[in-house]
A and B are shown apart, each in its own frame.
Chain A
Amino acid sequence: MSDEQKWVRIEREFDAPIDMVWKMWTDPEMFRKWYGPNGMSVPTAEMDVTIGGTRKVSMLMQGADPARSMWFTGVYKEVNAPHRLVYTESMCDADGNIISPQAMGMPDSFPDITEVIVELRDMGGRTQMTMVHVGVPEGSPGAGGWTQAFDKLADLAASVAQAED
């Protein structure tokens, strides 16, 4: 893998006031209603939205047999209502103990810790949101070990693609 930072950056504009959008991220009841991707519900959302406060979220895969749930935990690093929210995210067990994504069946490319940065801008009744989801850089605590395995997987994909061309 190259040194380039990996991230997802999404910009959206909502036809809703900034306080309402802020609540989407910080009110557990609201958060639960939108955070589940297709086929997933969010049974647990515990949030201590203060700097250094922890968060714990579970997602339950609907229709899977046996039912499969995934837990995520993290810490709020910046809380500047209603403009900026930064928190970390790691996979964990139901008790909040951090576990590696690989132990949860995720591919080796998944970083142990990611960070979600939300920025909101008041557009006069409407709200512009920028969300950045970034892998915590290699070398920082807890980030070790996954790039090597990722390289193998990437090489594997590349070599087969080459053979097919």
Chain B
Amino acid sequence: MFNTDPMTSDESLDAAFSALAHPARRAILQRLAQGTATVNTLAEPFEMSLPAVSKHIRVLEKAGLIKREKDAQFRRCTLDVGPIAAIADWTETYRPIWDTRFDTMSKLLTELKDQSS
């Protein structure tokens, strides 16, 4: 169902975690789940300035959670569900981390064994 990159790099994980940490940004994602919207539309339910909303949108965009059209006038936003789907299951976040750790452990064990022999 999701063909997106499974969030294996720590930077992208970190960006997505940080982006999802803010209630306003989660609300923006909820709204975008109903369909593409302009920044103005997204700002409507919030008691905050347009630049403040734009800032949240930039954070979401940087985290890869939304995509924005290049059209400078409307800059419509669309939700990219890939990263959310990947981190919705915490086990899928941890599995690659453990795999990397055990690769390192394996190398370390080999080094230690070579030293002691």
Contact check: which of A30, A33, A61, A160 meets B10 at CB < 8 Å? Answer: A61
Please, how many residues of chain A have a CB less than 8 angstroms from a CB on the other chain? 48
A48 to B30, CA, bound (A): 44
Judge whether A107 and B20 touch: CB under 8 Å.
Answer: yes
Chain B contact residues: helix, strand, loop or mixed: helix
Q: Is the CB of A21 within 8 A of B99?
A: no
Q: What DSSP secondary structure best describes chain A's contact surface?
A: mixed
- Do B33 and A160 touch (CB < 8 A)? yes
B90 near A111 (CB under 8 angstroms)?
Answer: yes
CA distance A42 to B29 in the complex (A): 34
Which of B11, B87, B91, B99 is most buried by chain A, counting CB atoms within 10 A of its CB? Answer: B91
**B interface residues, how many (CB within 8 angstroms):** 41
Contact A107-B98, Cβ < 8 Å, known A16-B112, A33-B104, A61-B10: no
Q: Is the CB of B33 within 8 A of A156?
A: yes
Interface digits, B62-106 against A, CB 8 Å rule (1 contact, 0 not)?
000000000000000001010011011111011101111110111
Could you tell me the distance between the alpha carbons of A164 and B99 in the complex, rounded to whole angstroms?
32
A98 within 8 A of B: no
Do the beta carbons of B113 and A20 come within 8 Å of each other? yes
Task: Please give the residue numbers on chain B whose beta carbons come within 8 Å of chain A beta carbons, in ascending order.
Answer: 1-2, 9-11, 14, 16-18, 20-21, 29-30, 33, 35, 79, 81, 84-85, 87-91, 93-95, 97-102, 104-106, 108-110, 112-113
Q: Which residues of A contact B (CB under 8 A)?
A: 6-8, 10, 12, 14-16, 20-21, 24, 30, 33-40, 61, 64, 68, 102, 104-111, 129, 131, 133, 135, 150, 152-154, 156-157, 159-161, 163-165
